[in-house]
Amino acid sequence: MPELVSSLPTALAVRSREVELPRSMTVPLPEHIIAASEEMREIVSVVRAIAPTSITVLLIGESGTGKEVFAELIHDLSERKGPFVTVNCGAIPEGLIESELFGHEKGAFTGAVGQRKGFFEAAQDGTLFLDEIGEMPLALQVKLLRVLETGTFTRVGSTTSLKTNARIVAATNRDLEVDVRAGTFRSDLYYRLRAVMLRIPPLRNRREDVPYLIETMLEEFVRKHRIVDVSGRARMPQIEPEAVSLLINHEWRGNIRELRNTLEQLVVLTCAVPREEGYCVISRRDVERALTDGMATGWDGDRYARPLPAPPLARDKEQTERELIYRALIELRSEIAEVKELLQGRNTISSSGTLALPPATPLNGKETSRIVSLDELETNAIKQALEFYHGNRRQAANALGISERSLYRKLKEKGLE
């Protein structure tokens, strides 16, 4: 049996280290923040310095890097007495987002049967986290800027100004400077939001954190899934050194979210059945399968599903739709090739003794095949993404390279809701 890693570097040891702040103060790291890399520790030190203030913060980073975790950390260290309220600006339909943020009065629009408070009022004395801020419609960006400048807002259907002292923390995985140049995001709002801007690095740029994340997550999943030995005691898996090395050196395009999913699958599939020796071993082969086979990408019945490509961080609508069509065409070409191979395997023998394909179906005296419309290609791509992600619309939208709001609109247009 290969040598095993019986104990990864202890996360507690990382947490006990100290971070040097600009004021030459030293403080311990919060327990739920894993930051062995120098870059992450610098970010934590900045968070500790700005948290007690009311300054607006913009968090930028790829999907899955933990932007919401840092937004919550800013709130927790601020000593604000109000709640931490999260709003996904890309998940709310464009016609409703103003009402959701600012509230509305009875009769303000069809369906407004009563007065309703918005997120700004809900976050009074607390923190309002505006996730996916780059998806906010231009018309609403003007009103958000006014709130940031004056601290006042008006409910939809009202003329009375209300005060808010909610602290704004925004986040995006887009390059807002590109959006500003493209005219899809207001420059004045961008500069107002980025009073303090923190770039959360992708996991592949801070590999020192991976061993500590592995240990912390394994402990969590052992408790969550009740991984026990034959005597009923909690049982931590052991990991071969080559498996650990493979996990550390993987690219992790899905960042911490992808690492979590992979480790949870490894724990469940490798360690769920109690063994007489009292422990389970996660081998290099287990990790390779999780990263390259159906464990990490999903099983579609009789073959491993092809993962949908991750979208770039910033793109315009026309480019997104063009790439969506290209992906659907590539998938269609692959499926046609598979059908052709299947037909060739079921050939019949002609009178001459040679293999012959079934005759093509004539249409108006000509041999032809059905041409699939672009609308059908798009519909099939959406169905495939939703099926692949088990109905999770946010993940499906990310895979398709469109906003969640756009996905909701297309589902409604195509009658797929």
Instruction: Write the pLDDT tens digit of every residue in 244-291.
Output: 999 999 999 999 999 999 999 999 888 876 555 556 889 999 999 999
- Residue 226 is predicted with a pLDDT of 85
Q: Which fold has domain 38-200?
A: Rossmann fold (3.40.50)
Q: Do residues 119 and 160 make contact, with C-beta atoms less than 8 angstroms apart?
A: no
- Residue 396 is predicted with a pLDDT of 82
Pick from 126, 141, 129, 116: nearest CA to 70: 129
Q: How far apart are the first and last CA of the chain?
A: 52
Pick from 36, 39, 46: nearest CA to 9: 36
- Per CATH, the number for 205-297 is 1.10.8.60
- Residue 412 is predicted with a pLDDT of 81
Q: Which fold has domain 317-346+367-413?
A: Arc Repressor Mutant, subunit A (1.10.10)
Q: Do residues 70 and 59 make contact, with C-beta atoms less than 8 angstroms apart?
A: yes
Check residue 232 and give left, alpha or beta (phi > 0: left; psi -120 to 50: alpha): left
Q: Is beta strand 167-172 parallel, antiparallel or unpaired with respect to 57-60?
A: parallel
Q: Do residues 255 and 65 make contact, with C-beta atoms less than 8 angstroms apart?
A: yes
Please compute Rg for the chain using Cα positions: 26
Under-50 pLDDT residues of the chain: 1-7, 9-27, 294-316, 346-363, 365-368
- Residue 205 is predicted with a pLDDT of 94
- Residue 227 is predicted with a pLDDT of 83
Query: Structural domain boundaries of the chain?
Result: 38-200, 205-297, 317-346+367-413
Tokens 């009789």, located at residue: 302
Tokens coding 328: 């659907």
